[in-house]
Amino acid sequence: MLELVPITDGIGTEVRGIDVSGPISDREFDRIHQAWIDTTILLFRGQEMTPAQHIAFTRRFGEVYAYTRSQFNHDEHPEILILSNITRDGKPIGSAYSGRVWHSDGAYLTDPPVGSMLYAREVPPEGGDTWYGNMYAAYDALPPSVKERIEDLKVVISRVRSRPYNYPDRPAPTARERAEWPDVTHPLVRVHEESGRKVLYAGGNVPWRIEGMSEDESAPLITFLQEFSIQPRFTYRHQWQAGDIVLWDNRSAMHRATSYDHVKHRRLMHRTTISGGRS
Ligand code: SIN
């Protein structure tokens, strides 16, 4: 029987009593979906799914797309991005160091993805955890004077500047990429289109700036908001077991991968991404 259990007081729901590779009724799905919108991340443990089932399950939540088209997309299912330190014939099969700073996926895009579903296939015995932060809760807890100050501000995000933070194992942007990647602007306080709730969009230890200010002028406010939002009461560190799935709502959650011993251990994660759907 479907059971929805809070992960912590501040964030997340563990979904029990469901096999995501099998049929899920609309009624069950509606409850699961609502828990996702309300609590920002969902955890499903002990799941076995093929890449095709992973894609099919993701599709229940929205349009799936391969926004990070790269050599690390699954050969037969390019909708799946492989995050791994494993090599085959001397070549990495996945991106090994992605996401080790707090971030919201695709913040550097005009239409960032609405969510991502990460499936653990092989995990190290220690390390390789993922942190999640609830940005609704962070916004709600801000002092009223700060809320008032940031209400109409916008953040400017540079894909070129954030590349080495988000993907330290990828080459620096080429001249062509630099030319093709304009900076994008998002409201610092966004209204979540499904919940209607306000949510702080200041995620990421990457050099964001406030529109109309330099990076240096923006730093005190951005740093305050970023540090405020990763307090223990808003965050959860997930220690993976093989078979775990975490689905995060990219509009209301930040996340951050952590390190592990790449020489001694293997980590193999499959990730699908849910399109923002506006472009
Ligand atoms: C990500 O940012 O999608 C990667 C998370 C992880 O590998 O733990």
Predicted pLDDT at 153: 96
pLDDT of 161 above 90:
no
Paired strand residues for 200: 189
pLDDT of 55 above 90:
yes
Predicted pLDDT at 279: 38
Domains of the chain listed by start with CATH number: 3-124+236-277 (3.60.130.10), 134-229 (3.60.130.10)
What pTM value is reported for the model? 0.94
pLDDT, one tens digit per residue, over 134-160 is 999 999 999 999 999 999 999 999 888
Token pair recorded at residue 169: 């194992």
Q: 127, 100 in Cβ contact below 8 A?
A: no
**Cα–ligand 1 centroid distance for 211 (angstroms):** 28
Question: For atom 6 of ligand 1, which residue has the closest CA?
Answer: 257
Q: Using a 6 Å cutoff on CB, does residue 98 contact ligand 1?
A: yes
Q: Calculate the alpha carbon distances from 216 to 130, 142, 186, 204, 222 in Å.
A: 29, 22, 19, 16, 10
Q: Calculate the alpha carbon distances from 53 to 68, 272, 279 in Å.
A: 20, 11, 26
Under the banding of pLDDT at 50, 70 and 90, the label for residue 203 is: low
Q: What is the mean pLDDT of the chain?
A: 93
pLDDT, one tens digit per residue, over 56-96 is 999 999 999 876 557 889 988 999 999 999 999 999 999 89
pLDDT of 120 above 90:
yes
Question: For atom 1 of ligand 1, which residue has the closest CA?
Answer: 99
Q: Using a 6 Å cutoff on CB, does residue 121 contact ligand 1?
A: no
User: Which of 249, 268, 271 to mutate to test ligand 1, by most ligand atoms within 8 A of the CB atom?
Assistant: 271
